[in-house]
Amino acid sequence: MSDQSESPADNGVRTSIDNTPSNAVPTDVVMELATCPITPLGQKGGNYFFISASGELRCMKAEALEAGRGVRALLSGYSTAIDAWCLKNFPQKDGCWSPRMAGQWIIDQCNGIGVFDPDSADIRAVGVWRDDDGKAIAHCGNQLVEPGGRSLAPAEHRGKCIMIGAPPIAPPDNTFINPEEVEFLLSELKALWGWKRDVDADIFLGWVAAAILGGFPAWRSHLYVYGSRGSGKSKLMEVAAGMLGEFGGSVLNDATEAGIRQSRNNQARPILIDEFEPDQSVRNGSKQDGMFALFRRMSGGEGGRVSRGGSDHSAVSFRTLGAAYVTSINHIQLEPQDRSRFVMIDLGQLPITSDPLKMMSRLEVFEKSIRAISQRLRGRILAQSERWDESHAVIAAAARSEGADARQADTAATILAGRDLALFEGDIDQKRLRALQPILMELMRDAEDSGVSSEGDDALDFLLSHSPKLDHSVNRTIRDLLIGVIEQTLVKDVEDPDAALGRLGVYALPAKRAVAVRVGRHSPVSSIYANTKWQSGAHASALVKLEGVSRPPSAIRLKRNHQHRVILISYDLILNNSSESDDEFY
């Protein structure tokens, strides 16, 4: 016990009181943090925040603490050491300890620290995290496990973040695992499923290994597995769940963004969702849009923080990190910003066998071996995490040299770095890098497919395919009208296509060999994009991403006494788009 003035510890928790106020509990009550069952964090708006003896983040109002209401429940029954601590520091004449004195002590300690904002604090629960030194640390609910195997209680962690207690999960096992055991898992994966590409099983293993590191990788890649009925999608997800163990949690068959956001708040672990089927209904379509927004936040950096209004009209903050794995029969057409975060696996039918019973028995043995190896596999990946950054950087550089952009390179490198950690020891060398080349090239081709349909292409196609209301209920698209004006040909049943386009905010400019499209939230063109992701004038930022589209720095004259801000789309882009739309494929 010390009555010396001390500066706040690295995690913002003060271990003793300085300048004790006259109404505070005497200084001989203050204990060193190592023996104190309460970790004070601070106060805000009459609420006092602290880590309780159970390791949970707790918030109590000043009135309750002053009266001692609920304080006994915070400290009683955990251990005889805590009971003795309370008796020593908050004694009563009847031989018991005083909840009121203990409550006042919590108030004094929190006041001494200052204002605490739980919505901006770096609070961490179950998952694998990157600590202040850049090293991985696995939070297993009631203990933290370091790469070397050392474990400590969450309250013992010193750093800028706040580690809170949670229901315990099985920790990683640092017992040596022979790489040949992992090779066996990979060979069985290849034999038991109908992979359409030779490298798909390697990609699957790489995703699982990277997912084991939770929020530690700076970039987390998601996995989308799809295939027809009977392809073994659900069983493959069960295998992934078995390899991840309790760290992965349960496989979900129905989930919402809000449900995951709340149940996985401040966690850094993977999410597995089966039967993530496309649904065009308004309700479920918007639900899936929310899920993809969550996946985007999960993939990078600190995971992104979401703020929502609480029942008491105060803001509530949520954060989730990790990799997602979803399955469906027909995969949802992903937007470019989502597609660049996913690797896709198209499963074929299960291998045909002359002895189905033997194959089933082989699968059962495989599943048992998965469960038996799970904790040791997690321990192996955690122990090898110290070479993650270097492995990822080397592989990402190789991808960039093959023409990948930064996002594509990061996504591929995350998968391949995970595979390397699972199968090999030591730093990645040129031999191993060359062996990864076939998988890398397949991931690169996959990434190229993701860029075929860009935001600009989609926005332009939407505009050209729009059928405006014309006189006499004539049905013609903007594409039809533009082709007639550009090529100076008749448009059937439309007397003046130029005027019809002008009413929509679209103008053909022969002198510039370009089509001018008005911009702005309230332009006629903006109404065409109403109720789409390009609404409120966002169509302009999507269209200018295309080659052949420019945005003049000032308004231009479109016709007499009419000047507007526009974007210019070259004739060539319009004509090429139109010819592609007329192509027929057999």
- Chain centre to alpha carbon of residue 553: 37
Residues 384 and 465 in one domain: no
What are the tens digits of pLDDT across the range 243-299?
999 999 999 988 888 899 889 999 999 999 998 887 655 555 567 888 888 999 899
The reply to whether 135 falls in a domain is no
CA–CA separation, 53 and 35 (whole Å): 11
Contacts of 192 (CB under 8 A, 6+ apart): 232, 350, 351, 359, 362, 363, 366
Domain boundary among 113, 130, 151: 113
With H, G, I as helix, E, B as strand and everything else as coil, classify residue 106.
Answer: helix
Q: Has residue 426 been placed in a domain?
A: no
Q: How high does pLDDT run on average in the chain?
A: 86
pLDDT (0 to 100) of residue 34: 38
Instruction: Using the structure block, give the residue that is written with the tokens 């039809």.
Output: 480
Is-contact 359 308, C-beta < 8 A?
no
Query: Is the pLDDT assigned to residue 104 strictly greater than 50?
Result: yes
Query: Which pLDDT band, with edges at 50, 70 and 90, does 22 fall under?
Result: very low
Residue 29: what pLDDT?
39
Task: Please give the structure tokens belonging to residue 428.
Answer: 């990645």
DSSP state of 330: S
| DSSP H stretches of helix in 384-516 | 388-401, 406-423, 430-435, 437-450, 455-464, 478-487, 497-504
Instruction: For residues 182-191, give the mean pLDDT.
Output: 95
pLDDT digits (tens, 9 = 90+) for 537-552: 888 888 988 889 999 9
Answer whether 233's CB lies under 8 Å from 251's CB. Answer: no
What CATH number did the domain enclosing 199 receive? 3.40.50.300
Which single residue is written with the structure tokens 């269209």? 543
- Tell me if 30 is assigned to some domain: no
* Residue 171 is assigned to a structural domain of this protein: no
Nearest alpha-carbon partner for 383 in 99, 149, 153, 182: 149
279 and 386 housed in the same domain: yes
Residues 249 and 360 in one domain: yes
Q: Which of 33-37, 447-451, 459-463 has the highest mean pLDDT?
A: 459-463
- C-alpha 248 chain-centroid distance: 14
Residue 189: pLDDT above 60? yes
Percentage with pLDDT > 90 across the chain: 62
Residues 216 and 358 in one domain: yes
Residue 357 domain flag = yes
* Average pLDDT, integer, range 148-162: 90
Max intra-chain CA distance, the chain? 103
Mean pLDDT of 442-454: 68
Model confidence pLDDT, tens digit, residues 224-239: 999 988 899 999 999 9
Are residue 73 and residue 200 in the same domain, yes or no?
A: no
* Model pLDDT, residue 538: 86
Write out the two tokens for 117.
């904002």
- Both 263 and 381 in one domain: the answer is yes
Q: How far does CA 120 lie from the centroid of its chain? A: 18
Residues 204 and 332 in one domain: yes
What gap in Å lies between CA 207 and CA 544, rounded to an integer? 35
Clarify whether residues 348 and 252 are in a common domain.
yes
Confidence class of residue 454 from pLDDT cuts 50, 70 and 90? low
In a domain, 482, yes or no: yes
Quote the radius of gyration of the chain (alpha carbons, Å).
30
Same domain, 204 and 287: yes
Query: Is 172 within a domain?
Result: no
Q: Are residues 471 and 553 in the same domain?
A: yes
Instruction: Check whether residue 337 and residue 252 sit in a common domain.
Output: yes
Task: Choose the final residue of a domain: 69, 92, 113.
Answer: 113
pLDDT at 541: 85
**Domain co-membership, 383 together with 473:** no
What's the number of domains the chain is made of?
3
Burial of 155 (0-12, 13-18, 19+ CB in 10 A): buried
pLDDT average, residue stretch 123-138: 95
For range 365-391, the mean pLDDT: 95
> Residue 500 in contact with residue 468, Cβ under 8 Å?
yes
Asked whether residue 20 is domain-assigned, the answer is no
Residue-number span of the structural domain to which 518 is assigned: 455-576
342 neighbors 287 (Cβ within 8 angstroms)? no
How many CA atoms lie within 13 Å of 276's alpha carbon, on the beta-carbon side?
A: 29
| Residue 126 CB neighbours (<10 A) | 25
pLDDT for the residue 310: 59
Region 493-519: mean pLDDT is: 92
Of the chain, the percentage scoring pLDDT greater than 70 comes to 88
In the predicted structure, residue 577 carries a pLDDT above the cut 80:
no
- Give the model's pLDDT for residue 561: 77
pLDDT surpassing 80 at residue 25 = no
Mean pLDDT lowest among 26-30, 37-41, 239-243, 265-269: 26-30
Per DSSP, helices labelled H in 18-153 are 62-67, 71-75, 80-89, 99-113
